[in-house]
Structure 1
Amino acid sequence: MQAAFTLTCLVLGLLSTSFASPILTSRAISSSLYDDLVLYTKYSSAAYQLLCPSPLGNTLVGSFSVGDTQGFIARDDDRKEIVVSFRGSFSLADAATDVNIFLVPFTSPGIAKSFNVHSGFLAAYNDVADIVLTTVKAQVANFPKYSVVVTGHSLGGALAALGAVSVKTALPSAALKLYTFGQPRTGDAQWAAFAESTIGASNIFRAVHTFDGVPTIIPRILGYEHHSTEYWQFEDPGLFTSESTTVTKCVGEEDPSCSDSILSTGINPAHVFYFGQVMAVNPLLCI
């Protein structure tokens, strides 16, 4: 049954399309950025594996599993990167985290702000914040020329956003980028502005695949607002091909010409397929 569901999601994800407008195609991304999106999708998928001793063949320097928040920290010595990857929704406990949508002040180790974020996401991140910060600080101290990348899919994308702000606040001189995939809205407009000012909008890559309903599943009417910068894959490039022309760089936080133009249908096939990866299915990413 699980295999049949996975195959169905894969096929529907591959076939899902949204007709491109001249505006979208004129804002197409570079092939190198597309390759980066593919790479960090793989890191995000690897976080779903029960065991990941060597993420994408790189050095595992730490892992965390507290409550139901899981992920790992890897070091890529070729790219000179320290990568933090958060697992997305995988269990009933994760579902409880997802639906705990009350907005609460952003209070985390080293951060106490009056703006608001999703209470479930914040509690889940705070469960592992000390572990993440301690490990990343140690790696940056030992490898000061390395950059930091924080990534995650779905719930993991929201945790990655909170984590990226947390790490950058603790290590303001570190070069840091955030890549998320299918990230739901994570906080209010003030949170979004703080994330952008802390990380830098040009260092944030919030990818959305075609009609994925999770990024808009929490409505703005509840006080939520996305941070920039959205990269919307508005159509699939075709079976087993990768083309940067299918991805557009969106404008601002809630670009009405991008995924915000699609009525949310919640978790759907497009949510489990990103840049050639069926999320949570590929243990080969860990060897």
Structure 2
Amino acid sequence: MKKLKRYQYERYAVLCKLAYPKEFDYASLGFSAQHHHAVTDARGIVVARILCRPNKKEVIVLFRGTQSLRDWLLNFCIFPSKAKGQFADKSAHNGFVHFGYQFLLNQRSQSVSTDPTGKNTKPKNLSIYEDIETKLAPLIEAGKRITLTGHSSGGAMAVLAAQRLELKFPKSVRRVVTFGQPSTSYLRYYKHYLLHHRTFRVCCDLDIVTFLPPIPGLFKHVGRSLWLHNERVYDNAKPIWRLYRVLSQWLISPISYHYMHKYIRNKDFFDKH
């Protein structure tokens, strides 16, 4: 089982936070204009960013989370949608996924592809995923490996995109790191998911979004969960245990704040006093 190191966690967490403002200062993060590509939907809103450096093997695909009322409503579109992507032998499809998140990944982008042969064919509008794959294909052929990350619904899109990339370009995905991600997988998709050992879902305390959709036995999270709670990281904590831990600590919190480690934890405040 691969591990997520602290510097990797900090890098992806910072990128996910910086993805929300309209202005993304990629230059201050060490990326040049030639190695940054913004993927926008038909309305011109940035859905994902592709970041890479010539001297590094890692390419980062950064998905932005929920941005509009329409996106929020799509969170509730939980009916099954057949997962995109096909196994090489075409013997079976991937299963079913959350309709709303697949819709976000399959919506039209502003990019247009043209026929490379020059024949009289109409330009083809690309989906968000197709736009991303088009930009990544030459990088993968050059030996780059892909890390996908995102917050909230952006994390759900990262999971869906990673599976499709891995099906088409085996061993191209280095890792998937999501923050506060809702589940997108029906049971069959969970069984066919290829990246369980390279997918890290970071959850924080009682983040209610990480429990969605609240239908046990129907939806199932892929990969490995890392639960940040009470100054610790819990590996693969079950949702019901997470809920119990948080609620029980709320009940005893008036007593727990009396312990000395609480006072020691806040020692750094005195440097600013």
Q: TM-score, normalised by structure 2?
A: 0.71
Name the counterpart of 2:224.
Answer: 229
Contact 1:88 1:152 in 2 (8 A): yes
Aligned counterparts, 1:221-260, within 5 A: 221=216, 223-235=218-230, 237=231, 246-250=232-236, 254=238, 256-258=240-242
Quote how far apart the aligned CAs of 1:72 are.
0.4
Quote how far apart the aligned CAs of 1:77 are.
4.4
- Given the alignment of the two structures, is residue 49 of structure 1 paired with residue 24 of structure 2, yes or no? no
Quote how far apart the aligned CAs of 1:51 are.
2.8
Partner Cα distance (2:183, 2:13) in 1 = 19
Q: Secondary structure at the match of 1:48?
A: coil
Contact 1:44 1:153 in 2 (8 A): yes
Name the counterpart of 1:16.
Answer: none
Query: Aligned letter for 1:118?
Result: H
- Given the alignment of the two structures, is residue 63 of structure 1 paired with residue 47 of structure 2, yes or no? no
Contact 1:189 1:224 in 2 (8 A): yes
Query: Aligned letter for 1:227?
Result: V
| Residues 29-55 of structure 1: CA deviation (Å, up to 9, x unaligned) | 97x712211111122222222132517
Name the counterpart of 2:57.
Answer: 80
Partner Cα distance (1:256, 1:188) in 2 = 19
Partner Cα distance (2:173, 2:184) in 1 = 23
Counterpart selection for 2:150 from 149, 152, 165: 152
Aligned counterparts, 1:33-48, within 5 A: 33-48=5-20
Contact 2:225 2:236 in 1 (8 A): yes
- Percent of residue pairs bearing the same amino acid type: 22
Quote how far apart the aligned CAs of 1:71 are.
1.3
Name the counterpart of 1:141.
Answer: 141
Name the counterpart of 1:122.
Answer: 102
Name the counterpart of 1:218.
Answer: 213
How many corresponding residue pairs?
218
Partner Cα distance (2:243, 2:146) in 1 = 27
- Given the alignment of the two structures, is residue 102 of structure 1 paired with residue 79 of structure 2, yes or no? yes
Query: Aligned letter for 2:131?
Result: I
Quote how far apart the aligned CAs of 1:167 are.
1.3
The answer for unaligned runs of 5 or more in structure 1 is 1-28, 238-245, 264-287
Partner Cα distance (2:169, 2:246) in 1 = 37
Contact 1:69 1:124 in 2 (8 A): no
Query: Aligned letter for 1:38?
Result: E
Q: Secondary structure at the match of 1:187?
A: coil
C-alpha RMSD over aligned residues: 2.7
Partner Cα distance (1:161, 1:260) in 2 = 27
**Which stretch of the first structure deviates more once superposed, 119-128 or 53-62?**
53-62
The answer for unaligned runs of 5 or more in structure 2 is 108-127, 248-273
Contact 1:121 1:186 in 2 (8 A): yes
- Given the alignment of the two structures, is residue 165 of structure 1 paired with residue 163 of structure 2, yes or no? yes
Partner Cα distance (2:208, 2:53) in 1 = 32
Counterpart selection for 2:93 from 81, 105, 113: 113
Partner Cα distance (1:260, 1:183) in 2 = 20
Partner Cα distance (2:54, 2:244) in 1 = 38
Contact 1:231 1:249 in 2 (8 A): yes
Q: Secondary structure at the match of 1:113?
A: coil
Query: Aligned letter for 2:23?
Result: L
Q: Cα 1:62–1:35, aligned 2, differ >3 Å: closer, same or farther? A: same
Quote how far apart the aligned CAs of 1:89 are.
0.7
